[in-house]
Chain A
Amino acid sequence: MLALLRRLGAMVLTLVVSSFVIFAGMYAAPGDPLTFLIKNPEDRTPDRVAAVRAEYHLDDSFLQQYLSWAKDVLHGDLGTSFVYKQPVADLMGTRLPITLTLVAMAALMFIVIGVGLGIVSALKRGSAVDSSITGVTTFLTSIPNFVVALVLVSVFAVQLRWFEVSGDGEGFAGRLYHLTLPSIALAIGALAVVSRVTRQTMVEQQSLEHVDVARSFGLSSRKIIWRHVLRNSLGPVVTMCGLIIASMLAGTVVIESVFGLSGVGSMLVDSINAHDFPVVQAILLFMVVAYMTVTIVVDVLYPLIDPRTRERSEAA
């Protein structure tokens, strides 16, 4: 319980610090939001400029701007987009589900396939199967994901027409269908890492004493693999998967752009370019929160997988 409170405290502190750093970064970035608030250069007369600067508090000091933003956030108001004139929460509300679904589908793929391949690799260590799994996944990981995305589009959407080129689809089934190619493009890069970590830890476990003991007791090899090798290998695998998912949440922009998805990533890039402070701030904070949430989930899972860690943390 205390540990949980401590974690929550750390989370709040991290949020405060990161929101400040992000705000400062945006403030220091080159470019003037005014260029985007009055699009036509011929309309930027001194009077208009002064009025707009006042409306958006652009002339307030950095600290004043930050504090007024922070105050609103504490009241549950993420602000209003400079560009869209809509509440940031509304904008996020329509984009988040797309990004989250995309990452969830990609995560499911790379975990199931990656771990599966890792297990096969470990069991068939040294065989042709092992080396071809290692070879193929390494090759796939070495291709940048936007190239993978373009290839997938051109083969499966343009040539074969099995999938749609862009957009996010209507309804749940439509959404899954539309997000299939994007999630494959997103997942492929993670396959090698996950399968390699799984293979490595399983190979290490197999050579440990408790496995030898189990073997000497005459347990079936299926039982040994399942109960002793795989279970003990799960820790590093879960940690690795967690880290990959967390970084995916912040790294969907390229895939979203190629597949014409209106997700959080593409909105982030647009907002940065348009100096849409409230939106940038909200998205980056979402990414920080998402990262922390994933790591917490991993920490919570850990004792379930390996009771020894629970004892250790209780002792500490």
Chain B
Amino acid sequence: MSTVSARRRLAAGAAVCAIVALAAACGGAADPSSSAAAAKKNVKLVDTTPAATGQLDKATWLLPKEPTNLDLSNDDANDQSDLIMANVCERLNKLEPDMSVGPGLASKYEWRTPTQLVFTIRENATFHDGAPVTMDDVLWSMKRNSTDGNSESDEFPNVKSFAQTGPHELTFTMKQPDAVFVEALAGNAGLIQERKVVEAQGKNFGTPSSTDACSGPLTVGEWKSGESVVLRKADDYWDAAKASKVDEITFKWAQDDAIVNSLITGSAQGAYIDNIASAARLATSGGITVSQGPDTRVWSLLVTERGGLADADVRKALSLAFDRDGVNRAAFASLGQPWKEPVGSGAWGYEKQTFSDAYDKLAGSPAKPSEQDIAAAKKLVADAGTTKPIVIASDGSSIRNTLANALVDAARKIGLTASITQIPTAQYGDFYDNPDLRAKADLFADDYYISKTDPVGFYKNGASTSEVQWVFKDPAYDKLVLDGRAALDPADRAQIAIELATRWADAKPWISAVQSPCTVALAKDVTGVPASGSVRYYPWAADLGKKG
């Protein structure tokens, strides 16, 4: 899964909601306006929940869907696969709860020359069957991850070769320095698995009957297709200090409403809430702790090449008049954050303060448009001359409908005409690949996240060759993208990332709306797990334990 990301979930869930939910099965939250304030007050903003004090023998954890596959290199492993296997598998580097990148199965790395990246592999690590993690496993895993057809192979564009250069030393020879690659190795590109276990299972690997080939604090106990996945504490985990605080965790899946009810009745101990609006009821129900932490996920309106928004000034005008706060209240029960850029604060894995300051300075995307904003937007529209009517695509789901209506409202306020077209949920994801579909709408709404904690990892999508934006082409920007990847010094890279963000904001190939933070709900007797987007790769369940 690439540098960036992948909005892996999307359609399927939303559609069941659309069918079932008419009444409330999905929405969850009761009266949005009155309960929202109360809910927001009860939500704690943290990277991680307070540490657990005692060992927990059993926990049930809820997911919005069943994992499709537990082989993370598989193209259609989904969000749930990542969330579960984060506890089972380990990488060369490790993503920490504060979204920084630390040492994983490699105890350290260094850039020996600008094109020589050297990892020192730990000697004491063992796989779940007791076998040591050998250099042969490491080399084989890297080869598997980088081979064409593997979902991670696109992380290796700058790798010329890699080889063992010492008893415990792995060296990547690069075509050019690549800071983003180091971050990718904390994700699935850096996955280390036991060769003989994977090979023995062949095509079966990753299906319910297979076993895992990893070295993490928990191991896959059992996957009953359609029913549950059970993880058990690994015997003799190599890093004793980080051994799992939960002996057994059972994953089950259900609709939003059933998740909320199960937590309230105590039949489940926790869940990461996908549709954050449903967390409002949990936050006000007493007994349940709801915490939010930084993630990279942001809902944006992606501009297509249809032509209605070919003029960057019109896009800017719409962004100025767009009521992000209203969308947040209506569709996210106020549990999101009006957001100015297409990637969330979870991407600030280094130089946090620099990024935060730069974000505050970004102009043109107000939370609530002021009169000056509207006046400025009107002027931009007047200067742009005549424009084609704008069409925005929705699929009838509550978030997309709200975004579409807010856009139509923004257009109306500044003298533009906009209308909504409905595209079936099952087809909505095709916007990225199908130019014929993009010819039907100027904008479509999607939540986008990146799996790396680096704004450069997102802003590469502004390049002229990008597969996910269609209206912005700027050679100077393209060069900055390359420079950003190559800048090994974090401070330098941060400056380049900020320059990219400013240029993106100026061109607005997407109009960003609301950040959707990582949201975790916990029963009153358990604690410890991170509340940040790090849970995609960090062994979060190992930290789940009894509350003091």
Q: Do A and B truly interact? A: yes
- Chain A residues proximal to chain B, CB less than 8 Å: 29-32, 34-45, 47-49, 51-52, 82-86, 90-91, 94-95, 98, 144, 146-147, 150, 153-154, 157-158, 161, 164-168, 253-254, 257-260, 262, 266-267, 269-270, 272-275
Query: Nearest residue in B to A97 (C-beta to C-beta)?
Result: B226
Which residues of B are in contact with A by a Cβ distance under 8 Å? 1-8, 11-12, 15-16, 19-20, 22-25, 65-66, 68-69, 74-76, 78, 148-149, 151, 154, 203, 206-208, 224-227, 252-255, 257-259, 261-262, 264-265, 267, 424-427, 429-430, 432-434, 461, 467-468
Closest to B79 in A: A39
**Most central of A45, A258, A269 by chain B CB within 10 Å:** A258
Docked-complex contact B261 and A157, CB < 8 angstroms: yes
**B258 — which chain A residues lie within 8 A by C-beta?**
153, 165-166, 258-260
7 pairs of A and B residues whose beta carbons are closest in the complex = A260-B254, A40-B6, A41-B432, A262-B226, A166-B258, A31-B427, A260-B258
Distance in angstroms from B54 CB to nearest chain A CB is: 26
- Please state if B15 and A269 are interface contacts (CB–CB under 8 Å): yes
Q: Beyond A158-B261, A166-B262: 10 further Cβ-contacts under 8 Å?
A: A36-B11, A39-B8, A40-B7, A42-B3, A44-B433, A146-B25, A157-B265, A164-B265, A274-B12, A274-B426
Residue ID in chain B nearest A52 by CB atoms: B75
Q: How far is the CB of A181 from chain B (nearest CB, A)?
A: 12
Query: Looking at the complex, which one of A29, A36, A85, A260 makes contact with B69 (CB distance below 8 Å)?
Result: A85
From A30, A44, A84, A91, contact of B426 by CB (8 A):
A30
Closest to B17 in A: A257
By beta carbon, the residue of chain A nearest B450 is: A42
Which residue of B23, B65, B78 is within 8 Å of A146 (Cβ)? B23
- With contact pairs A32-B433, A161-B265, A166-B254 given, residues A37 and B76 touching in the complex (Cβ less than 8 Å): yes
Instruction: Please tell me if the beta carbons of B4 and A42 are within 8 angstroms of each other in the complex.
Output: yes
Interface of A is mostly: helix
Instruction: Pick 24 A–B contacts, CB within 8 A, sort by A.
Output: A35-B430, A36-B429, A39-B76, A41-B433, A42-B5, A42-B461, A43-B1, A48-B148, A82-B76, A85-B68, A85-B207, A91-B225, A94-B225, A95-B226, A146-B25, A150-B24, A166-B261, A257-B16, A259-B258, A260-B252, A270-B16, A270-B65, A273-B426, A275-B426
CA of A274 to CA of B424, assembled, Å: 12
Say yes or no: A273 contacts B12, CB within 8 Å: yes
Q: A22 → chain B, closest Cβ, in Å?
A: 16
* B148 and A47 within 8 A (CB): yes
Query: Which chain A residues border B154 with CB–CB below 8 Å?
Result: 42-43, 45
Residues of B within 8 A of A94 (CB): 224-227
Chain A residues with CB under 8 Å of B24's CB are 150
Cα distance A218–B23 when bound, in Å?
56
- List of B residues within 8 angstroms of A51 by Cβ: 149
Write the nearest CB–CB distance from B381 to chain A, whole angstroms.
Answer: 31
A296 to B203 CA separation, bound complex (whole angstroms): 41
**Distance between A102 CB and nearest chain B CB, rounded to angstroms:** 14
Q: Are A258 and B20 in contact (CB under 8 A)?
A: yes
User: Which of A37, A158, A258 contacts B75 (CB under 8 A)?
Assistant: A37
CB neighbours (8 Å) of A32 from chain B are: 427, 430, 433-434
**Whole-angstrom distance from the CB of A254 to the nearest CB of chain B?**
6
A83 lies within 8 A of B76 (CB): yes
B68 contacts A84, C-beta separation under 8 Å: yes
Least distance between A151 CB and chain B CB atoms (Å): 10
> A31 to chain B: which residues have CB within 8 Å?
424, 426-427, 429-430
CB within 8 A of A165: which of B15, B76, B262?
Answer: B262
**Cβ–Cβ contact B11 & A274, under 8 A:** yes
Residues in B neighbouring A41, C-beta threshold 8 A: 6-7, 432-433, 467-468
A98 to B151, CA, bound (A): 34
Contact A164–B78 (Cβ < 8 Å): no
B398 to chain A, nearest CB (A): 16
Do B23 and A266 touch across chains, with their CB atoms under 8 A apart?
A: no
Asked if residues A266 and B25 are in contact (CB atoms below 8 Å), the reply is: no
Shortest distance between the CB of A165 and any CB in chain B (Å): 4
B265 x A254 contact (CB < 8 A): no
Question: Given contacts A166-B262, A258-B257, A260-B252, is CB(A39)–CB(B208) below 8 Å?
Answer: no
- CB < 8 Å neighbour of A257 from B25, B207, B226, B429: B25
Given contacts A167-B252, A260-B255, contact A146 B8 (CB under 8 A): no
A91 partner residues in chain B, CB cutoff 8 A: 225-226
When chains A and B are docked, how far (Å) is the Cα of A313 from the Cα of B262? 54
**Closest Cβ of chain A: how far from B248's Cβ, in Å?**
14
Q: Is B15 touching A42 in the complex (CB atoms < 8 A)? A: no
Chain B nearest CB: distance from A45 CB in Å? 8
Distance between B86 CB and nearest chain A CB, rounded to angstroms: 17
B433 in contact with A34 (CB, 8 Å): yes
A143 to chain B, nearest CB (A): 11
Min CB distance B303 to A, Å, is 15
Q: How far is the CB of A206 from chain B (nearest CB, A)?
A: 42
Central interface residue in A52, A85, A269, by most chain B CB within 10 Å: A85
- CA of A148 to CA of B179 in the docked complex: distance in angstroms? 56
| Chain B, Cβ-Cβ closest to A163 | B265
For the complex, what is the distance from the CA of A95 to the CA of B468, rounded to whole Å? 37
Give the residues in chain A near B3, CB-CB below 8 Å. 42
Most chain A CB within 10 A, of B11, B69, B461, is at B11
Shortest Cβ gap from B58 to chain A (Å): 14
In the assembled complex, which residues on chain B have CB atoms less than 8 Å from the CB atom of A165?
Answer: 258, 261-262, 265, 267
Q: Smallest Cβ distance from A89 to chain B, in angstroms?
A: 11
Task: Write the chain A residue with the least CB distance to B71.
Answer: A85
**Considering the chains assembled together, what is the distance between the CA atoms of A83 and B207 in angstroms?**
11
- Considering the complex, give the chain A residue whose CB is closest to the CB of B227: A262
Which residues of the other chain, A, contact B15 by a CB distance below 8 angstroms?
269, 273
Q: Do the beta carbons of A270 and B12 come within 8 Å of each other?
A: yes
